[in-house]
Amino acid sequence: MLETFPNPEPGRDYEITHTAHEFTSLCPITGQPDFATLVVCYVPAERCVELRSLKLYLQGYRQQGVFYEALVNRVLTDLVAALAPRRMEVRGEFSVRGGLSSVVVARHAAGGQPGPGRA
Amino acid sequence: MLETFPNPEPGRDYEITHTAHEFTSLCPITGQPDFATLVVCYVPAERCVELRSLKLYLQGYRQQGVFYEALVNRVLTDLVAALAPRRMEVRGEFSVRGGLSSVVVARHAAGGQPGPGRA
Amino acid sequence: MLETFPNPEPGRDYEITHTAHEFTSLCPITGQPDFATLVVCYVPAERCVELRSLKLYLQGYRQQGVFYEALVNRVLTDLVAALAPRRMEVRGEFSVRGGLSSVVVARHAAGGQPGPGRA
Amino acid sequence: MLETFPNPEPGRDYEITHTAHEFTSLCPITGQPDFATLVVCYVPAERCVELRSLKLYLQGYRQQGVFYEALVNRVLTDLVAALAPRRMEVRGEFSVRGGLSSVVVARHAAGGQPGPGRA
Amino acid sequence: MLETFPNPEPGRDYEITHTAHEFTSLCPITGQPDFATLVVCYVPAERCVELRSLKLYLQGYRQQGVFYEALVNRVLTDLVAALAPRRMEVRGEFSVRGGLSSVVVARHAAGGQPGPGRA
Amino acid sequence: MLETFPNPEPGRDYEITHTAHEFTSLCPITGQPDFATLVVCYVPAERCVELRSLKLYLQGYRQQGVFYEALVNRVLTDLVAALAPRRMEVRGEFSVRGGLSSVVVARHAAGGQPGPGRA
Amino acid sequence: MLETFPNPEPGRDYEITHTAHEFTSLCPITGQPDFATLVVCYVPAERCVELRSLKLYLQGYRQQGVFYEALVNRVLTDLVAALAPRRMEVRGEFSVRGGLSSVVVARHAAGGQPGPGRA
Amino acid sequence: MLETFPNPEPGRDYEITHTAHEFTSLCPITGQPDFATLVVCYVPAERCVELRSLKLYLQGYRQQGVFYEALVNRVLTDLVAALAPRRMEVRGEFSVRGGLSSVVVARHAAGGQPGPGRA
Amino acid sequence: MLETFPNPEPGRDYEITHTAHEFTSLCPITGQPDFATLVVCYVPAERCVELRSLKLYLQGYRQQGVFYEALVNRVLTDLVAALAPRRMEVRGEFSVRGGLSSVVVARHAAGGQPGPGRA
Amino acid sequence: MLETFPNPEPGRDYEITHTAHEFTSLCPITGQPDFATLVVCYVPAERCVELRSLKLYLQGYRQQGVFYEALVNRVLTDLVAALAPRRMEVRGEFSVRGGLSSVVVARHAAGGQPGPGRA
């Protein structure tokens, strides 16, 4: 589902950040909607993610029940599988529930390199 | 009282931040209400804190008298006992009293690791 | 419980606004805490409300269960009874519950005069 | 579906505003998700809308295709039917599509009275 | 070029506002690019403007040289011709040139009615 | 103490607003310092207030004990006496005490004219 | 010095606002620099002011000593003489001096019409 | 004058920040009032500063003439003497004088440790 | 096309940042306009970029179709070729498309030095 | 022209930052005014800069033509000559010209020490 295109500048380390302002999924316990901002930041190796396919991939969670912690890790795992980036960070910023807001941040680095910093 | 669930991605270091915007306790000297924003940021090991039980745990301070410095350290100690996280930081941001606002930040790291940074 | 003092300038129409940034009460159905900003704006006649007694009066709701709509109207009724102001407006701005935030505004005018406008 | 409760202060004109920060529906042409903030402001007559049923009512649009203009008018019509308010305004603030953001505002007044002003 | 669709609620006066955050044209004297935010606010009569055609219409100015004052009036005239609205306001907010920013606002009302207020 | 100079344009109604961001006085009960922003807005008749003398006049309250309501009315009375303006408004915005912030606004109009509006 | 061009839409009442973010003059007493934001808002009759000549006109004050109140009235008088607008407002927002910031607003209306409102 | 209480968690390095929003002193040359925000951030060793005594200590500067640089260093020296903290930083943010605002930051570390970072 | 002038202080490492708030190009697939803020930050060696020529260079993309990732890398490559800076970073902040905003950041360092940090 | 006074705490490394919000000079090519915010941050050795003389020194550029890059370096060189600080940074933030804003930052360190960080 995630489509990619060749990195136009593979000889240079550079960062790409895509911020999805309109992410929504469902709470797996109550079935109530959850809303979040999802931020994907990465240093590409051979492939970049195509923007429209990233949008559709994230829309795929609209009717799925998933916990915050599992969601962020699954998005990271899926994007790493599709892109094999040098480094990647996925951040989910979840809106207030019961007076509490939550942020989950997970990072991947090829070959144990440090992550892309504070995306 | 603090309930936990298994970390869905124990093989990866990642950060979870819960921000309670509506914390209130009492001043142990005057009995007057105190108000704060409490931020809990941690890198889970085997267990994550369940969000609703965290909310109820924090509501448990509503009628308790407790000093700022003691409160933040006690919340950190209780959460470390319940979760045994790799790293954790608790921050309390207390509203203005007598023209002074206060912030208290305490950190824990398993095995002497550095804390999770600026949560 | 609400103490008052003589208006120092009864011959002049002027407005006084007190904003309580730290109001909290309980939901009468679930018992869960509610949080709000409460704004009292009035044109005094013979009496003004003493600030410390207003603070203590509002703290009296801390352990009471009360609906948003009833709360704002009751505060208005109590203050009108204590002060007999020329005009008064009470506004409650309630924090997010289930993705919805709420504002309730009620006004009183002695002898059918229009309220103090947009306080 | 919209549940109501008796207005606790029917003898007084006052305003209630509920703001839904997490509204989402579908575009009826493309099937793509739309996101909006929906604001309901009214002066109650005999009945007030129950907050949880309002939340569920708005969630009912999650998988429906509906145009901006039709949506705001339909929400207004449904709420007027359920509450028979003295005055009501519904405002939808829709997020950016193709570089354009949109706002639609519709008002109702019983017996031709003017609306509740600039909600 | 401007496409329209039937007003879904012709029996009710209501306001529609579309804000184009990415308007650009050319200065007719220097040929340098101008940038603006264009806001269209109207009360529809029989027809509403279709959002995508409004976007394309505004993109049509990208390579045209036009003065601020003429631009805003021309957009208003074109939209009034296409929609015959009850009331309409067009506002152009132009970015800084030589330390000066500019705003131009023009209004139309069918049959001499007052404009839609402060859109 | 308040010095004035001749209005350079007495034939035209126009507004002058001076905002003192650093006002401080004492609480007459506790002797504790109070802090406020004081805003003076007026339409001059024959005389304007000299800016430096206004600053010194307001500094004169630094060691005086005075209640919020009395302070704003006294400043208005003193300035009206010195300037005989067509209209004047004085607004005091007082910082948080015990979780409550306060605003007091008083107006004067020569010959019963309406005040200068929302200064 | 102020150049004008023919109003492209003389049959329609519309507003033009130019905001100069970088105005500076000198204090006539101390010779120290003053800084302000100057806002000119008008409804044109037959002529509009050319933007570059407005910029140069305002730069003409750079080495002149002038009081706030006199400056705003002089700019209004000069622009009214050059444009003969239906309505005009000039607003000067002056930066902090001795802890006080100041705003001066003057209006002109042809034939005694009311001003262009809150520009 | 500065009162202290025993650190409730001496075995843990943690940070306490108190921000005084309403500090005022006098200029030692002109006698004019100065205004500042003073921020005290420290890692306690055996003692913490009592909040009310800190407030009174800072109020003690109200009628004293002191230069910015000397003030910040003196507050740091006094607090280090009273608390013997592991690390401490004092920051004074002074309001605009003659178009210039100023910040002074001084740090102390027991035994040459680095300071508490960017408080 | 990019003009340069001699660095006035070649013996000192210092940073220059130019931010273009009004960048626009075309999407190479749909032909639709893209909008961005482009930030160029560099430490000059022998030459600095002339501001007007940088503006014209960036305007050259107005009618070109180019992907985000390729654009930022091409601007970096062109500027490095023209200036041979010690270090350079180019950042493109692209506006919302389909609910997603994007940022691309690329860096160059002469002789493998680290980049200029977070410009 | 730059006057200094003895550092009141020469035994302690601490930072002083002065921010001039109202800097203006001339473009050496067009003669048009430039506007900037100038920030001076330093760690004093034996001498501190006197605030009023710094203001007058910066006012000395009002009628001078100078390029951004040269200006910031010249201010740094002059201040280093007058103060011989341990470390110093000068930052100029220049307002928008042709849609581009610019920042220039230069640093000095006595004996090759690193600069004072991100002032």
**Does J76 score more than 50 pLDDT?**
yes
Q: Virtual CA dihedral for I60, I61, I63, I68, nearest 10 degrees?
A: 180
CATH of the domain at B26: 3.30.1130.10
Subunit contact F51:G99, Cβ cutoff 8 A: no
ipTM beyond cut 0.95: no
**Does H116 score more than 50 pLDDT?**
no
What part of I 62-91 touches A (C-beta under 8 Å)? 67-70, 72-73
Selected residue with higher pLDDT from D118 and E77 = E77
> In the prediction, which pLDDT does G112 show?
61
Which residues of chain I fall short of a pLDDT of 70? 112-119
> In the prediction, which pLDDT does D24 show?
98
The answer to whether residue I117 is domain-embedded is no
* % of chain F at pLDDT higher than 70: 93
Q: How far is H61 from chain F (nearest CA, A)?
A: 12
pLDDT band at C89 (very low <50, low <70, confident <90, very high): very high
**Does B113 score more than 50 pLDDT?**
no
Q: With beta carbons less than 8 A apart as the criterion, state whether I71 and I103 touch.
A: no
Sequential DSSP letters for C71-107: HHHHHHHHHHHHH--SEEEEEEEEEEETTEEEEEEEE
> In the prediction, which pLDDT does E43 show?
98
* Distance between CA atoms of residues F40 and A38, nearest Å: 47
C78 is catalytic: no
Mean pLDDT of F42-64: 97
**Does C26 score more than 50 pLDDT?**
yes
Q: With beta carbons less than 8 A apart as the criterion, state whether B65 and B52 touch.
A: no
* Distance between CA atoms of residues A2 and A85, nearest Å: 14
The answer to whether residue A9 is domain-embedded is no
Please tell me what DSSP assigns to residue G67: -
* Distance between CA atoms of residues F34 and F62, nearest Å: 9
> In the prediction, which pLDDT does B1 show?
84
* Residues of chain A with C-beta less than 8 angstroms from the C-beta of C95: 99
* Residues of chain H with C-beta less than 8 angstroms from the C-beta of J52: 98
Please tell me what DSSP assigns to residue H53: H
> In the prediction, which pLDDT does I107 show?
97
* Distance between CA atoms of residues I5 and I52, nearest Å: 12
* Residues of chain B with C-beta less than 8 angstroms from the C-beta of H13: 107
Cα separations in angstroms, D11 against C103, D8, D89: 19, 9, 21
Query: pTM here?
Result: 0.93
**Does F113 score more than 90 pLDDT?**
no
Mean pLDDT of F38-45: 98
The per-residue pLDDT for range H53-62, each reduced to its tens digit, is 999 999 999 9
* Distance between CA atoms of residues H112 and J12, nearest Å: 12
H117 contacts chain F (CB < 8 A): no
> In the prediction, which pLDDT does A112 show?
59
Query: Tokens 């262009």 identify what position?
Result: G116
Task: Give the 3-state secondary structure of residue A18.
Answer: strand
The per-residue pLDDT for range D16-28, each reduced to its tens digit, is 999 999 999 999 9
Alpha helices in chain I (DSSP H): 51-59, 68-83
> In the prediction, which pLDDT does J1 show?
85
The answer to whether residue A61 is domain-embedded is yes
Which are the contacts of B95, defined by CB distance < 8 A and separation ≥ 6? B34, B35, B36, B101, C21, C22, F99
Q: How far is G26 from chain H (nearest CA, A)?
A: 13
Subunit contact J17:H69, Cβ cutoff 8 A: no
In chain A the beta strands, taken as DSSP E runs, fall at 4-6, 14-26, 33-43, 47-49, 87-97, 100-109
Q: Which of these is catalytic: F27, F41, F48, F78?
A: F27
The per-residue pLDDT for range D76-100, each reduced to its tens digit, is 999 999 999 999 999 999 999 989 9
**Does F111 score more than 80 pLDDT?**
no
The answer to whether residue J62 is domain-embedded is yes
* Distance between CA atoms of residues C93 and I60, nearest Å: 51
- Mean of all residue pLDDT scores within chain H: 93
Report chain H's terminal Cα–Cα distance, integer Å. Answer: 25
Per-residue pLDDT of chain G (119 residues; tens, 9 = 90+): 899 999 999 999 999 999 999 999 999 999 999 999 999 999 999 999 999 999 999 999 999 999 999 999 999 999 999 999 999 999 999 999 989 999 999 999 987 644 444 33
The answer to whether residue H116 is domain-embedded is no
Q: Which amino acid is at D56?
A: L
* Distance between CA atoms of residues A105 and I34, nearest Å: 29
The answer to whether residue E86 is domain-embedded is yes
* Distance between CA atoms of residues C83 and C46, nearest Å: 8
> In the prediction, which pLDDT does J111 show?
74
Structure token digits, residue G43: 């409804």
E46 contacts chain D (CB < 8 A): no
- The residue segments making up the domain with residue E81 are 16-110
The answer to whether residue F117 is domain-embedded is no
Q: Which of I22, I32, I63 sits opposite E95 (nearest CB)?
A: I22
> In the prediction, which pLDDT does A118 show?
35
- Structurally, chain D folds into a number of domains equal to 1
Q: How many CB pairs under 8 A join G and H?
A: 11
The answer to whether residue H118 is domain-embedded is no
Q: Which of D102, D105, D107 sits opposite E18 (nearest CB)?
A: D102
Question: How, if at all, do strands A47-49 and C4-6 pair?
Answer: unpaired
* Beta-bridge partner residues of A100: A97, B20
The per-residue pLDDT for range C30-78, each reduced to its tens digit, is 999 999 999 999 999 999 999 999 999 999 999 999 999 999 999 999 9
> In the prediction, which pLDDT does E79 show?
98
* Test the F interface: residue of C3, C9, C14 with most F CBs within 10 Å: C14
- Mean of all residue pLDDT scores within chain B: 93
